[in-house]
């Protein structure tokens, strides 16, 4: 459905990669011709109902607990405007541009399904706003995740109406009317049913899930690299990563992680390997030895979340919906539980992945466990503190991630006069997962900071014991931004530099250039 330039919505099922391309890379979108046919057909159904004398929810009635109020024809445009204005009730910090773009794309993805009853010109307005790089201001707080992400979606619908505030293509805050005028986009005057169709969906939480899965796909491989580098720096053994051992418990993610560890460590001269007639270490601590089991469980959690995302990306989420045979039916498909659960599940996995990383970092700093390295990896122990407080930073982040792992989806606060008496909190689950992923990247960065520093000491004490190609590549990369161990310097910029190398993808690129693509 996609080429290098444009994504055609409504031709095939949207993918996670499509969402990322639009959200982060500003890929252009178009509405497929067959989708335009579906949109017109469903709109014809709504227009026929609008002329009916019987009440139809969202077409000729109020909303939520006010669904029993009949609205006369001459006031129905005002009904839709009032719905959007009243539901655009967010507060707090602005949500990130990539999240808003993902949210708008996914709402448009439902509009082109032909099950919402909107007019083609309304769908085209969403397309045009995205292609123009205009981003409605959406706030951190406001969504209960049911009926979907009402408030965030309403802020976007408000901008389509030419109201509220947006960020222009250059990031400037400005009135929506001015931004639309500058882009040559005519504000939409909403007709029957359209207000509901623009705000009933799981698009915010789903967009953040797609972005999170993309980030985690890279970070779980960085976690394998960090674990291997720690095992090497601590003079551990790679015997426990043998393929046949992991076939005894053949979880796919565990096997992939073990294979990555074997590849990273394959040519290392620092790893402890059995030598005839010599005593070698029998086994390492859990944080080293069990890395594939933990990293693999994270992969399994991701795989489950990806399966949920794939179903959602192929779904039409609205209430009421226009069915394929022309009925207009109320339903509960807007409920965010399926997405909220996996967002919370991922937050648990993220917290544990960071936790095992921090434990490996801590081993580097303790002379009773680091196998000959100086205390705290300090250049001059006593005079210098080395990475003592970097571990504090990692520990503080891990503690925060544990709190963020408390599920949002088990909470529910009734709303709309008890009509909406069970909600998903999926938006909140997505927001805390984003914070968790940021923290995970920082914890892994600190672990790599420790392992690359340890490698300097190992090379000084035994220069003939050559590290592996992968860890050598990471070490060389870090030394382009971070100095070798010396008298203590301002540590915060060093940690930030390490994080930049992880977050930018430079660490993963360096390793994969050295040894090939990791699983």
Whether 157 and 196 have beta carbons less than 8 Å apart is answered as: no
Q: SS3 of 61, please?
A: strand
Question: What is the distance between the alpha carbons of residues 336 and 352, in angstroms, rounded to a whole number?
Answer: 25
Angle, CA of 196, 202 and 203, to the nearest 5°: 90
Cβ contacts of 467 within 8 Å, gap of 6 or more: 232, 268, 269, 270, 455, 458, 459, 475
Question: What is the distance between the alpha carbons of residues 153 and 19, in angstroms, rounded to a whole number?
Answer: 17
Q: SS3 of 271, please?
A: coil
Whether 301 and 267 have beta carbons less than 8 Å apart is answered as: no
Phi, psi of 91 (to 5 degrees): -150, 170
Question: What is the distance between the alpha carbons of residues 141 and 135, in angstroms, rounded to a whole number?
Answer: 17
Question: What is the distance between the alpha carbons of residues 301 and 253, in angstroms, rounded to a whole number?
Answer: 9
Chain length of the chain: 519
Angle, CA of 462, 511 and 226, to the nearest 5°: 70
**Residue in 498, 518, 405, 497 with CA at minimum distance from that of residue 446:** 498
Chain position carrying tokens 């006069």: 417
**Residue in 28, 33, 31, 32 with CA at minimum distance from that of residue 4:** 28
Question: What is the distance between the alpha carbons of residues 16 and 207, in angstroms, rounded to a whole number?
Answer: 9
**Residue in 229, 210, 370, 429 with CA at minimum distance from that of residue 305:** 210
Q: SS3 of 272, please?
A: strand
Residue 282: asked if its preceding bond is cis (omega within 30°), the reply is no
Question: What is the distance between the alpha carbons of residues 107 and 452, in angstroms, rounded to a whole number?
Answer: 45
Give catalytic residue positions: 57
DSSP-derived secondary structure letter, 168: -
Chain position carrying tokens 């498909």: 333
């Amino acid at each position: 459905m996609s080429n290098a330039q444009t994504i055609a919505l409504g031709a095939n099922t949207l993918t996670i990669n499509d969402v990322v391309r639009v959200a982060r890379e500003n890929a252009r979108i178009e509405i497929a011709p067959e989708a335009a046919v579906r949109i017109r057909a469903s709109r014809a159904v709504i227009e026929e109902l609008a002329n009916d004398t019987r009440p139809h929810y969202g077409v000729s009635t109020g909303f939520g607990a006010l669904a029993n109020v009949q609205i006369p024809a001459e006031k129905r445009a005002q009904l839709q405007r009032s719905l959007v204005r009243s539901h655009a009730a967010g507060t707090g910090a602005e949500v990130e541009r990539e999240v808003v773009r993902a949210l708008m794309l996914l709402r448009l993805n439902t509009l082109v399904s032909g099950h919402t009853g909107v007019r083609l010109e309304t769908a085209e307005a969403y397309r045009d706003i995205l292609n123009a790089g205009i981003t409605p201001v959406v706030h951190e707080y406001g969504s209960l995740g049911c009926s979907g992400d009402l408030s965030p979606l309403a802020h976007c619908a408000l901008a389509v109406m030419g109201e509220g505030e947006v960020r222009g293509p250059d990031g400037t805050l400005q009135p929506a009317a001015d931004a639309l005028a500058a882009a040559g986009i005519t504000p939409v005057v909403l007709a029957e049913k359209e207000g509901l169709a623009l705000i009933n969906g799981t698009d915010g939480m789903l967009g953040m899930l797609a972005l999170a899965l993309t980030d985690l796909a890279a970070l779980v491989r960085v976690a394998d690299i960090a674990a291997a580098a720690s095992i090497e720096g601590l003079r551990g053994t790679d015997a426990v990563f043998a393929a046949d051992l992991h076939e005894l418990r053949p979880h796919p993610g565990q096997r992939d992680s073990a294979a990555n560890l074997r590849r990273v460590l394959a040519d290392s001269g620092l790893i402890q390997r059995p030598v005839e007639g010599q005593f070698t270490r029998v086994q390492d601590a859990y944080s080293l030895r069990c890395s594939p089991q933990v990293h693999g469980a994270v992969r399994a959690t991701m795989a489950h979340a990806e399966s949920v995302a794939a179903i959602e990306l192929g779904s039409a989420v609205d209430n009421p919906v226009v069915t394929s045979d022309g009925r207009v039916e109320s339903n509960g498909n807007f409920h965010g539980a399926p997405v909220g659960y996996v967002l919370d599940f991922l937050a648990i996995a993220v917290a544990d992945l960071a936790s095992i990383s921090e434990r490996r970092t801590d081993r580097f700093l303790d002379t009773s466990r680091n196998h000959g390295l100086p205390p705290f990896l300090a250049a001059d122990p006593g005079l210098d503190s080395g990475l003592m407080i970097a571990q504090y930073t990692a520990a503080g982040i891990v503690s925060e991630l544990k709190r963020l792992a408390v599920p949002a989806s088990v909470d529910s606060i009734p709303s709309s006069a008890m009509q909406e008496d069970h909600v998903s909190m999926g938006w909140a689950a997505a927001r805390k997962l984003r914070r968790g992923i940021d923290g995970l990247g920082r914890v892994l960065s600190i672990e790599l900071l420790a392992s690359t520093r340890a490698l300097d000491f190992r090379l000084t004490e035994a220069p003939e014991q050559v590290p592996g190609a992968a860890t050598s590549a990471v070490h060389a990369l870090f030394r382009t931004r971070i100095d070798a161990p010396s008298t203590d310097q301002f540590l915060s910029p060093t940690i930030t530099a390490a994080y930049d190398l992880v977050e930018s993808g430079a660490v993963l690129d360096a390793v994969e250039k050295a040894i090939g693509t990791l699983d």
